[in-house]
Structure 1
Amino acid sequence: MLDLLKSSAKNLYLKHEKNIQEKLPSGWRWVSIGEIADMVCRGIAPKYSLESDEIILGQTCIRNNLILTENGRSHAPKKLTDKWLRKYDLLINSTGVGSLGRTAQVWFEPSKLVVDSHVTIVRATDKKNALYLGSWAFEHERYIESLHTGSTGQTELPRDRVKAIRVVLPDAGTLDEFNAIAEPSVKMIVANQEENKRLIEIRDTLLPKLMSGEIDVSKVDLMQLTNNH
């Protein structure tokens, strides 16, 4: 599903990026991220607390273009903030060699979820542009990484450089066609992530009992289980 999402977006922008002098189709245009985003900013400084129901995500939570909420930590908020994540926010790791440039997008309805100050939030003004922008970013991580400042070990991705990134934006009709493919795809990806989490929880619950002998599998009829499935 993720590969389908990337390839669908690539079919729209790739030939225009290869020849930036080429005239764009009617209704298409080159835009900077700053022109199409309400928010381009870093997250907040963490204040960890086991008693909070707010979760803060760091750079380890952004991997393979997916958000790993299980890697987040409880965080005590100082106040309500518009930096609480929203659906379709694009997240960009913005500090350090090896992490800087990795991207992911919020494809679920988040609740009391924030990122720390090592991650940049990009919030599209028009949600119609959001999934396309996210898919574009997934395929341009090396380019995003190249925009860093500083030396090895001290690299940072400045907000102004993110805002200045230029993207070819299709017309409204083309974006509607893309979103008709993208929206079901991301729903399925999220569903698969949730199912994987449930399976891991079941494994982590059962494995210690199996190892300790609390659950006796010696009398399980494997043939019957096979036939049932």
Structure 2
Amino acid sequence: MGITTLFLQLRTRLLLNTHVQVGTPRMDWVALPILNRVRNPIYCFLSHYINSITHSHIQSHLVGAVQQHFNVGSARKISINLPPLPTQKAIAHILGTLDDKIELNRRMNETLESIARAIFTSWFIDFDPVRAKAEGRQPEGMDAATAALFPSEFEEVEGQEIPKGWQIKPIGDILEVKGGSTPSTENESYWGGNIPFCTPKDLSNSKTPFILSTERTITELGVGEISSGILPIGTVLLSSRAPIGYVSITIAPISINQGFIALIPNESCNNYFIFEWLKANMELIIGNANGTTFLEISKKNFKPLSLCLPPKKLMQAYSLLINPIFTKIKSNLIQNQELSQTRDTLLPKLLSGELPIDNPEQFTGVS
């Protein structure tokens, strides 16, 4: 069974997913109408409240033999324990403040990721600074010291026009490329340790550049069953099958299953460069995959893919520019995780009165 999801549709209604089995998204909803069609504290209170109670309610009211689901009749039986109106507004205000900060961080990260992608595209795909210098212009938005690291002409290497002095090399000659495996799930001594164990499923619902958590963990004994062992912080992971294309960076030592290709960065190739290169070249990667049941890009097919590598000094300049951007993205993600945990901890305590709100009017100014 999956986690019950509540969808908040602004201004009109709460939509409650009635199928709790994880799988393809379906248009199976129970609609809980809200009389007031304008977004307000009461609406926000109800959304938080229902989110907190529906999972246990649904689990005890499932019907169906083939595919269990939750129907409209059961939804009507949801009991809502409403505190006084000022308290509802106060709870909505407290939790809404946390939600607003989470949303602000999310939007900031979208902007930062767009900036990082634009810099990579300009420098390493379109070669804008090189083209500008070739035309006798100063590269836009770039100081003289950084501009000096770019050549002013192109040359042909292996049939490709690239900036003079750069190299075309197989990615397997630049980076250490590793794969993973899964220890026997029948051996309990391998599982439940303190080492994160990542599978593509852990990235399926995440659109962020970093892996914050994994569903499962393994022990040192479990790690011993994996050829790649524990991968270092900053490793870039590419899901290699089912599907190909999830890309993320580790923020803690981690082990992986057979669904990944792991790329270990080094001085010649920054992990954020690798991350952006994978994103920009996904069509090339998928084009080199094979398989009958599902497509898979093997390490054997991945390692020969060619990468246009800039000189070491330019890679260092790129790192100095891009590292603070990704550091801020990571900081925002961690903060959002902490804010979400705080919100989810506060909610039941505020609803039950364990954390009393003695003067709710102070939060809203409305009695």
User: Taking structure 2 as the reference length, what is the TM-score of the superposition?
Assistant: 0.53
Q: Structure 2 residue aligned with 1:140, among 257, 281, 284?
A: 281
Structure 1 residue 134 displacement after superposition: 1.9
Q: Does 1:88 align with 2:241?
A: no
Measure the CA separation in 2 of the matches of 1:155 and 1:12: 31
Deviations 1:49-86, CA, capped at 9 Å, x for gaps: 66411110110223425233323311123355653121
Paired AA for residue 195 in structure 2: E
Matches within 5 A, 1:178-217: 178-217=318-357
Change (3 A) 1:158 1:118: same
Mapping of residues 1-229 of structure 1, within 5 Å: 1-15=112-126, 21=159, 23-38=161-176, 40-47=177-184, 51-62=192-203, 63-78=206-221, 79=223, 82-96=228-242, 99-106=243-250, 108=251, 110-111=252-253, 113-126=254-267, 128-151=269-292, 153-217=293-357, 219-220=359-360, 221-223=362-364
Shift of 1:125: 4.2
Number of aligned residue pairs: 215
| Cα separation, 2, equivalents of 1:105 and 1:70 | 12
More divergent stretch after superposition (162-171 vs 60-69): 60-69
Measure how far apart 1:45 and its partner are: 1.0
SS in 2 for 1:52: strand
Q: Which has the higher contact order (CA 8 A, sep 6+)?
A: 1
Alpha carbons 1:103, 1:141 under 8 Å: kept:
no
The amino acid across from 2:285 in the alignment is I
SS class of match (2:340): helix
Equivalent residue letter for 2:116 = L
Residues 76-119 of structure 1: per-residue CA shift (max 9 Å, x gap): 233556531213311010121xx21221123x3x23x2111111
* 8 A contact 1:58–1:119 mirrored in 2: yes
Are the counterparts in 2 of residues 84 and 114 from structure 1 also a CA contact under 8 Å? Answer: yes
Say which SS state the counterpart of residue 174 (structure 1) adopts: helix
Q: Distance in 1 between matches of 2:339 and 2:184?
A: 31
Deviation at 1:163, TM superposition (A): 0.4
Deviations 1:12-69 (A, max 9, x none): 22236xx98454323211111111012x121121456664111101102234252333
Could you tell me which amino acid in structure 1 is paired with residue 236 of structure 2?
L
Other structure's SS at 1:121 match = strand
CA distance in 2: counterparts of 1:144 and 1:218, whole angstroms: 59
Is the contact made by 1:65 and 1:138 (CA closer than 8 Å) also made in structure 2?
Answer: no
Task: Write the distance in 1 (CA, Å) between the matches of 2:208 and 2:313.
Answer: 26
Single out whichever of 52-61 and 120-129 deviates more from structure 2: 120-129
CA distance in 2 between partners of 1:66 and 1:184 (Å): 14
| Structure 1 stretches lacking a partner, 5+ long | 225-229
* Cα deviation digits, residues 126-168 of structure 1 (max 9, x gap): 35443212211122233323322113x4322111111011111
CA RMSD for the aligned pairs?
2.5
5+ unaligned residues in a row in structure 2: which ranges?
1-111, 128-155
Q: Secondary structure at the match of 2:337?
A: helix
Match of 1:227 in 2: none
